[in-house]
Amino acid sequence: MAETKFVTINMGPQHPATHGVLRLVLELDGEVVVKATPHVGHLHRGVEKLSETKTYHQVIPLTDRLDYTNGIGNNLGYVLTVEKLLGIEVPKRAQYIRVAIAELQRLAAHLIWLATHALDIGAMTVLFYCFRDRESILRIIEEVSGGRLTPTYFRIGGLSKDVPEEFKERVMDFLGDFPRRINEYETLLTKNVIWMRRTKKVGILTAEDAINYGASGPTLRGSGVRWDVRKRFPYSGYDEFDFEIPIGEVGDVYDRYMVRLEEMRQSIRIIQQAVENLPDGRFMADDPRVVLPPKDDVQRDIDALIRQFKIVSEGFEPPEGEVFMSVEAPKGELGFYIVSDGSNHPYRIKIRTPSFMNLSALPKMVEGGLIADVVSTIGSIDIVLGEIDR
Amino acid sequence: MAKGWIDKARGQFPTSILKVETFRDETTLVVKTDQILEVFTFLFQDPDLSYDYLTDLCGVDYKPRKPRFEVVYHLCSTKHDRRLRVKIPLEEGNSLASVESVWKAANWYERETYDMLGIRFENHPDLKRILTWEDFEGYPLRKDFPVKGKDFDKPFVPEL
């Protein structure tokens, strides 16, 4: 009898289809994957350790660099957690602007995913269209915050500054044409025979497994679980917006693709509602412990100057305790767990990143499938190694 | 402010659940190390609780306090839309039962906790470092580990 031998191959960490520095060790029986072992950590920067030495404000820029396609979303998760720890309420205007910008960022993140996912499978055209639209979004984010990829726009208690006057017009301009373009991109892929053969019944994750493996975001919803933090545990006024949660049926690569496309349409609805109903008023909470005084006051009033100096140099001291808060990032549930010992820097920050858990379910999805499908499955769970390795 | 479903868990494990805390509307159970697998299986299986989703698992170093560590589990119920935090105080050198058999999600989280804090989990299928490399010395998130790292001033010369 002939002896069966498995071939072990190494995919990554420099493989272009691993979306960063993921290394996969694949054991193959012919073309069939018998065992897949992800190795992560090549991008470990010690963000959690570093945060322990900084004041609460100084941690915000670090969060930009977790999932670098979703700087705004990471800022939002962090500032909401600190606000929960402090027990402060943010004004409606700031909440709505936060939602609008975070959803714009979600569109940008999903566009990167669509571009690279299609490229992995061989559809190159989509890449150029998606990056064009993404650039329009990043331009809006840059106008608002000053940064394209690392905006650091949110502050504990509100925003770093109000949106510029032409913000509404710019967003509406972009949204006017964008739904039509999504439909256009769909014509390239959704009914494309090659696309369907490469994605349907590939990389299946059942609903039960998805929950047990801690998958979240489109990876979980693609498996047919109607679970979205924005609906289940609303934050930042999400309960005031009208939007749907799309889900898939079988949990294959195609379902995750359809879920994300539909999510983009829902994001457009949310942004429209937020921008159209943007309330007037303050963009910062009225809390002198945390919020910097207005620049005019600082230049005229000695008390305001002292307060500004104190907040910038020493930060603030939240009460002792611990809080957990999560938001729905483009990739799934992004959670922050902050332990405060009452001093001006966090005692411990644990960041629950969605890609970390989604990737841990990858072996379940690819084992038993073909090696060529590993590439499309990795693309479909939309990982970013910056937030896996932290 | 203990809620009904928490009382049920308390009634089931009167000696294991040491206390229930509430802060900012978040409920925390503090549980002894000896029976944790039973407690977690109950929280997972009981229809009134059904914490079927392990959101997060991590460790916190409270040096010089005794016991030194706390292992923190964030559970979520996708049926009842509830969250629960379970904390387990742990002395340095002691190990904890793995909950990988309850939630597969715990596999990587426990590896990370081991990697970062040196907390060992019994019956874990593959307990090895995940974010740092195999030969790495020390546990970075312990409070006595320097932020700069231990070898920041030494040139890296590979052995040939």
pLDDT digits (tens, 9 = 90+) for A1-56: 677 788 888 887 877 777 778 888 999 888 888 889 999 888 888 899 999 999 99
Of residues B66 and B152, the one with the higher pLDDT is: B66
Q: Looking at residues B145-160, what average pLDDT do you find?
A: 76
Q: What is the pTM of this model?
A: 0.88
Query: Closest by alpha carbon to B31, among B46, B47, B12?
Result: B12
Distance from CA of B51 to the nearest CA of A (A): 10
Q: What is the pLDDT of residues A334-359, one digit of tens each?
A: 999 999 988 888 999 999 999 999 99
Token pair of A370, please?
A: 């073909």
Report the residue of chain A nearest B107, measured CA to CA. Answer: A360
Strand partners, B31: B17
Q: Looking at residues A257-262, what average pLDDT do you find?
A: 91
Q: Which of residues 81-120 of A touch B (CB under 8 A)?
A: 84-85, 87
pLDDT band of B74, cuts 50, 70, 90: very high
Helix-strand-coil split of chain B, %, nearest 5: 20, 30, 50
ipTM above 0.90, yes or no: no
- The full set of domains in chain A, from first to last, is 46-290+319-364 (1.10.645.10)
Lowest pLDDT segment from A15-24, A93-102, A319-328, A329-338: A15-24
pLDDT value at A320 more than 70: yes
Contact B130 A40 (CB under 8 A): yes
Q: Identify from A85, A322, A343 which residue to disrupt to test chain B contact, counting B C-beta atoms within 10 A and taking the largest count.
A: A322
pLDDT value at A94 more than 80: yes
Distance from CA of A302 to the nearest CA of B (A): 35
Give the separation between CA A7 and CA B129, rounded to whole angstroms.
25
Minimum-distance CB partner of B55 among A85, A333, A361 = A333
Q: Are A49 and B140 in contact (CB under 8 A)?
A: yes
Contact B72 A233 (CB under 8 A): no
Q: What is the pLDDT of residues B3-46, one digit of tens each?
A: 677 777 777 777 777 788 888 888 888 888 888 888 888 888 88
Q: Are B56 and A337 in contact (CB under 8 A)?
A: yes
pLDDT band of A268, cuts 50, 70, 90: very high
pLDDT value at B157 more than 90: no
What pLDDT does residue A76 have? 92
The residue behind tokens 């969060």 is: A63
From chain A, the residues in CB contact with B141 under 8 A are 48-49, 348
What phi and psi, each to the nearest 5 degrees, are found at residue A325? -145, 140
Give the separation between CA B34 and CA B19, rounded to whole angstroms.
15
Residue B104, chain A, CB below 8 Å: the answer is yes
Q: Looking at residues A206-224, what average pLDDT do you find?
A: 90
Report the residue of chain A nearest B77, measured CA to CA. Answer: A211
- The full set of domains in chain B, from first to last, is 4-95 (3.30.460.80)
Which three-class secondary structure state does DSSP give residue A193? helix
What pLDDT does residue B1 have? 41
Residue A347, chain B, CB below 8 Å: the answer is yes
Termini Cα distance of chain B: 63
Give the separation between CA B15 and CA A42, rounded to whole angstroms.
43
Contact B147 A335 (CB under 8 A): no
What phi and psi, each to the nearest 5 degrees, are found at residue B27? -95, 135
Which three-class secondary structure state does DSSP give residue A159? strand
Instruction: Let me know the angle formed at the C-alpha of B127 by A373 and A31, rounded to the nearest 5 degrees.
Output: 20
Contact A53 B81 (CB under 8 A): no
What pLDDT does residue B3 have? 66
Termini Cα distance of chain A: 49
Q: Looking at residues B110-127, what average pLDDT do you find?
A: 89
